[in-house]
Structure 1
Amino acid sequence: MIIEKIDTFGGHRDCVYALEHGPQPHQLFSAGADGLVVRWHLDRPDLGELVAKVPASVYALALHTTSGLLWVGQNYEGVHLIDVSSKQEVNSLKLTTAAIFDIKFYKNDAIIALSDGVVIVVDAEQLAIKKHLKASDQSARCIAVNPVEREVAIGYSDNTVRIFDLTTYALKRMIPAHANSVFTVAYSPDFRFLLTAGRDAHLKVWQVENEYTLHEDIVAHMFAINHLVYNPAGTLLATASMDKSIKLWDAETFRLLKVVDRARHAGHGTSVNKLLWTNYKNQLLSASDDRTVSVWKVA
């Protein structure tokens, strides 16, 4: 495996926490502690554009493909809906005074994870609250949707992952997954496995069709694992850590293939917070506390 850093996007004034696909394969959005929401073009790396500015940190970005609106989760103020073509805020939802850690869409539902342990389900067209899911007093950190089993997995700071029914939002299962906060959850592209990781630096693989029994427990990093993503082909997996490294894994065997760090690849000098694997030339993006977004070519 060859991995090569081909670009760095600079311009954020503080840590970068969120990355999201754009409406075109070569576009993406980034946001972070400076409240700036920026659109980047992978075919024109010099062309960063400010799309929105909000008054507080942004941990969550989600593009609603039906409406084309970018949902921006702003700390303590709710959600801003941005028309990315006009760069105008067209609506906002004053949902909460808690931090918003993740936003995912399923059909017409927006599922929003909050730092007070509440998960809010919003009708994405009517912008009306449908459900409040209060299953923990500790933060709901991350969301993964499984449309095949019609389930949604939510990772919490109480070390557990809870599985809810996607139709009724009834709690179906609670997995005592980790020794500390769960920061990232993802279903494999074939939905056979749920992958979870977090502050305990373990990457865990759960068998979905076998009542979420543990399949693998890998000591994957030195410090907290902040995020994990699959490549578009579903053959590779990437993890990002507070230990400043990105690691690439075989998605079938979960074997470590590559460590991307500062010494070997001019990687990030501080915590790697978020990853985005694009369809554009198979490029992998990483966002860091060092205020930059790096672009990686994986071959």
Structure 2
Amino acid sequence: MKIGVKKIATLTGHDESIYTLDKGTDEHLIFSGGGDKIIAQWSLKNFQDKKFVASFPSVLYSICYIPEKELLLGGTSNGNVHILDLKKNKIIKILKNHTSLVFNIKYSIQTNCIYSVGGDGNFVIYTLDTFALLKVKKLCNEKVRDIDFNYKTSEIAVASGDCNIRIFDLKTLQEKKIFIAHKISSNVVRYSPNGKFLLTGGRDANLNIWQVENYELIKSISAHDWAIYDIAYSPNSNLFATASRDKTIKIWDSKTFQLLEVINKEKFDGHLYSVNKLIWSYYNNYLISAGDDRAIIIWEININKIS
């Protein structure tokens, strides 16, 4: 498989590092947040001006948009999760169950729950309807960084700084498995869309691929020169991308796990510093990246199959 990479646009306007992205209120929109304590919404159609959404008292490390409820959640450096009602354009609730920065927020309509993880080592679950606290699980004394769902197996994977990945039952939250995934902090977990593989990225710069059936390691790749911060699959599942503190984005074949392209500053006018977050949008199949250089970059990735 051969791919083509084209830089479509650079969106600028944030005054500090960008740590988080999420889908926007329409297919062609995305949210962003970071060190300047604001959430902005951007258009992938015209790439012009950002739309200011909300400001917060602390740095934003995570965003979670819930279209079914028209809610936007922002996780901040002081451990709070702010719930913004987009219809009323106001904060309707602040969840205060973390004592350190909130690295990731996810929700599930299937379980009717909101999930957050933070620098305090806690995994916190709330009801989606009332935001009532259901459970606080202290997983470790290190940072807990990422969450992902596998609806095929009804599981949740959680990545943490103690090098472990923990697998929980989606419905009961019972811990089913715990295993060391990386030599240094496990930073990101991403299930393949078909539910058969779990991809993990660590501070050790390794990309590890696990067979979901028994979480056996089937491949370990020295993927980057520094920590891996995010993994995103393409809409058609043929490709996935990894983002790293080494300033690069790498594109991989999701069937063979072969490296197809390195997106860097030298070849593609990529990011100047750490790449912190990725979204692979259904809109025009754009790959969107954001990082410490305060830039959001829109990439067009084309597949050209060789016969």
Does residue 269 of structure 2 align to residue 291 of structure 1?
A: no
Aligned match for 2:197, one of 178, 193, 197: 193
Q: Structure 1-normalised TM-score?
A: 0.97
Aligned match for 1:28, one of 11, 27, 30: 30
Tell me the distance in 1 between the aligned counterparts of 2:74 and 2:131. Answer: 14
Aligned match for 1:109, one of 105, 110, 113: 113
| Count of equivalent residues | 298
Structure 1 residues 37 and 173, CA gap change in structure 2 (3 angstroms): same
Tell me the distance in 2 between the aligned counterparts of 1:270 and 1:195. Answer: 24
Tell me the distance in 2 between the aligned counterparts of 1:281 and 1:291. Answer: 23
Letter of the 1:46 counterpart: Q
Does residue 259 of structure 2 align to residue 265 of structure 1?
A: no
TM-superposition CA deviations, 1:16-47 (whole Å, max 9, x none): 00000012110000001111100001112113
Tell me the distance in 2 between the aligned counterparts of 1:11 and 1:86. Answer: 25
Where does residue 125 of structure 1 map in the other structure?
129
Aligned match for 1:231, one of 229, 234, 238: 234
For residue 97 of structure 1, report the CA deviation from its aligned partner: 2.4
Does residue 138 of structure 2 align to residue 134 of structure 1?
A: yes
Letter of the 1:44 counterpart: N
Structure 1 residues 298 and 113, CA gap change in structure 2 (3 angstroms): same
Tell me the distance in 1 between the aligned counterparts of 2:294 and 2:49. Answer: 17
Tell me the distance in 1 between the aligned counterparts of 2:278 and 2:95. Answer: 26
Tell me the distance in 2 between the aligned counterparts of 1:116 and 1:297. Answer: 37
Where does residue 71 of structure 1 map in the other structure?
73
Contact 2:64 2:106 in 1 (8 A): yes
| Helix, strand or coil at the partner of 1:263 | helix
| Helix, strand or coil at the partner of 2:49 | strand
Where does residue 58 of structure 2 map in the other structure?
56
Root-mean-square deviation over aligned CA pairs? 1.1
Letter of the 2:210 counterpart: W
TM-superposition CA deviations, 1:192-228 (whole Å, max 9, x none): 000000200000000001x100011000001111111
Contact 2:203 2:226 in 1 (8 A): yes
Does residue 282 of structure 2 align to residue 279 of structure 1?
A: yes
Contact 1:182 1:197 in 2 (8 A): yes
Tell me the distance in 2 between the aligned counterparts of 1:127 and 1:86. Answer: 17
| Helix, strand or coil at the partner of 1:133 | strand
Structure 1: 5+ residue stretches without partners? none
Contact 1:75 1:97 in 2 (8 A): no
For residue 85 of structure 1, report the CA deviation from its aligned partner: 5.0
Letter of the 2:59 counterpart: S
Tell me the distance in 1 between the aligned counterparts of 2:6 and 2:85. Answer: 34
Where does residue 86 of structure 2 map in the other structure?
84
For residue 77 of structure 1, report the CA deviation from its aligned partner: 4.4
Aligned match for 2:151, one of 127, 147, 150: 147
Contact 2:99 2:120 in 1 (8 A): no
| Helix, strand or coil at the partner of 1:67 | coil
Q: Structure 2-normalised TM-score?
A: 0.95
Does residue 36 of structure 2 align to residue 9 of structure 1?
A: no
Letter of the 1:287 counterpart: A
Tell me the distance in 1 between the aligned counterparts of 2:181 and 2:59. Answer: 28
Letter of the 1:142 counterpart: D
Tell me the distance in 1 between the aligned counterparts of 2:279 and 2:73. Answer: 17
Where does residue 214 of structure 1 map in the other structure?
217
Identity in percent: 38
Aligned match for 1:164, one of 142, 149, 168: 168
Letter of the 1:36 counterpart: I
For residue 86 of structure 1, report the CA deviation from its aligned partner: 5.1
Structure 2: 5+ residue stretches without partners? 303-307
Structure 1 stretches of 4+ with a deviation exceeding 3 A read 84-87
Where does residue 94 of structure 1 map in the other structure?
96
Where does residue 244 of structure 2 map in the other structure?
241
Tell me the distance in 2 between the aligned counterparts of 1:28 and 1:17. Answer: 14
| Helix, strand or coil at the partner of 1:46 | coil
